A = this chain, B = another copy of it.
Amino acid sequence: MDDAKRDAIVKAAGKSFLKQGYAASSIEQIAAEAGVSKVTIYNHFGGKRVLFEAAVDRECARIRNLLTFQAADDGPIRDRLRVIGEAMVTFLSRPEMVQFERRIAAEMEQHPDVGKAFLEAGPYRMKAAFSAFLEQAVALGELDVPNTRLAVEQFVSMCKGMGDMERRLGVPLKPKENLERVIGAVEVFLKAYTAKAR
């Protein structure tokens, strides 16, 4: 019972903070949505700040759980790259994800920790996972990548293109463009990094 309520509170808080931002969110409204008294919130958490950080933590944990990186091990490298790219773009284009990134960036100045927390939970984990994938392909002799760190960023960035920014700025999602970007990214990436046959 204790835990269920606490969870409901943090969940409602996350929803509100992400949708309306920190300043525009009110504790009373969060309490109402969580089906809980305002006092209960102040008993569990000390104040608005603490609640906000708890909500961010929760959302980061959700991201960590959702972001599983299961790259197919077989098939041509071209297909594998494409599958990964598509999964990535789809994941990042989800409205909740876009909104989360928006809010974290906006709230970062007042709460400097949240930016780093988000980076660690999302982008950096994704980067590490894709790095491992690349290094495996290099070990298998499929790719010739001199600078893995750089190549990872290049592939991911090309897949995102301007879509990322557009989404963040309110332009509606166009799945066709996303797909086109991934396909294009794979082609460019392979032209630059395919291992030369010897």
Contact = CB atoms under 8 A, between A and B. Distances in A.
Contacts of A162: 123, 127, 153, 156-157
Contacts of A43: none
Interface in A127-155: 127, 147, 150-151, 153-154
Nearest to A25: B23
A160 interface: yes
A108 interface: yes
Interface residues of A, number: 48
Contacts of A166: 119
A41 interface: no
Contacts of A116: 169-171
A108 B170 contact: yes
A153 B156 CA distance: 12
Interface string A66-78: 0000000000000
A47 interface: no
A81 to B, nearest CB: 14
A169 B102 contact: no
Most chain B CB within 10 A, of A116, A181, A191, is at: A191
A184 interface: yes
Contacts of A160: 157
A118 interface: yes
13 contacts: A21-B106, A102-B105, A102-B108, A108-B168, A115-B170, A119-B169, A153-B181, A154-B161, A154-B185, A154-B188, A157-B160, A157-B162, A188-B193
